[in-house]
Chains A and B, each alone.
Chain A
Amino acid sequence: DAKTTQPPSMDCAEGRAANLPCNHSTISGNEYVYWYRQIHSQGPQYIIHGLKNNETNEMASLIITEDRKSSTLILPHATLRDTAVYYCIVAHGSSNTGKLIFGQGTTLQVKP
């Protein structure tokens, strides 16, 4: 499975957009980029995923570069409740082969 590289920590002002980068230069053609977050020892929470096109849902947007070697998760209006560890994970799209390999993640601190 491809590995990912994320900055260990980031700060963001409440109400501003949070842009979380991720490098995945060894991603293979059939692997997706997934983003999960974990709020203080709760179960990880799925945010969004994509293959090569940009994606948007009610939680966030995902921008994937054309060469698919990096991506950015965008939380458009961060709130204090978005403070969490954010994990960028590359995995297969099929559930029966889709174990998640969690790296160190980015600890996002949203400040008032």
Chain B
Amino acid sequence: AAGVIQSPRHLIKEKRETATLKCYPIPRHDTVYWYQQGPGQDPQFLISFYEKMQSDKGSIPDRFSAQQFSDYHSELNMSSLELGDSALYFCASSSSGANIQYFGAGTRLSVL
């Protein structure tokens, strides 16, 4: 069965650079969530989209933005990267009416 696809799997950036993380949800899933997991931390909700509209927002820095496109894939854009942005970034998708979230394998971002 198709799963949530995230790319890239690993990303190395320097401070003040920008990064774009991509998420391809399970086919026919209309809701996408982004989570950040710092080293030794639990996942923290960043932002979600339902039918291409932002549906909820968590502790996402103003330097980050995200959107969901017409094909339901989503991108998380991160600018002015800081050392503290080094983390695992997970995307999850679900279908409307059932809040069962399926997670991708994550993107490991390292900011040097």
A interface residues, Cβ below 8 angstroms from B:
32, 34, 36, 38, 41-46, 49, 87, 91-105
A36: B residues at CB distance < 8 A: 101
Contact A100 B33 (CB under 8 A): yes
Residue of B nearest to A96 (CB): B50
One digit per residue, 1 when the CB lies within 8 angstroms of any chain A CB and 0 when it does not, for chain B 80-102 equals 00000000101010111111111
Among the listed B42, B44, B94, which residue makes an inter-chain contact with A105, where contact means beta carbons less than 8 Å apart? B42
Among the listed B31, B43, B104, which residue makes an inter-chain contact with A96, where contact means beta carbons less than 8 Å apart? B31
A43: B residues at CB distance < 8 A: 4, 90, 92, 103-106
Contact B96 A96 (CB under 8 A): yes
Shortest Cβ gap from B21 to chain A (Å)? 14
Contact B45 A101 (CB under 8 A): yes
B58 within 8 A of A: yes
B42: A residues at CB distance < 8 A: 87, 102-105
26 A-B pairs with C-beta separation under 8 A: A34-B99, A36-B101, A38-B43, A42-B105, A43-B103, A43-B105, A44-B101, A44-B103, A92-B99, A93-B99, A94-B97, A94-B99, A95-B30, A95-B98, A95-B99, A95-B100, A96-B48, A96-B55, A96-B96, A97-B55, A99-B33, A99-B48, A100-B43, A100-B45, A101-B45, A102-B42
Greatest chain A CB density within 10 A among B33, B44, B103 is at B103
Shortest Cβ gap from A70 to chain B (Å)? 20
Interface residues on B, range: 20 to 34
Across chains A and B, which 8 residue pairs bring their CB atoms closest together, nearest first? A43-B103, A98-B99, A96-B50, A95-B94, A102-B42, A95-B31, A99-B45, A95-B99
B58: A residues at CB distance < 8 A: 99
B51: A residues at CB distance < 8 A: 96
One digit per residue, 1 when the CB lies within 8 angstroms of any chain A CB and 0 when it does not, for chain B 1-43 equals 0001000000000000000000000000011010100000011
B56 within 8 A of A: yes
Contact A95 B96 (CB under 8 A): yes
Shortest Cβ gap from A25 to chain B (Å)? 20
Contact A46 B100 (CB under 8 A): yes
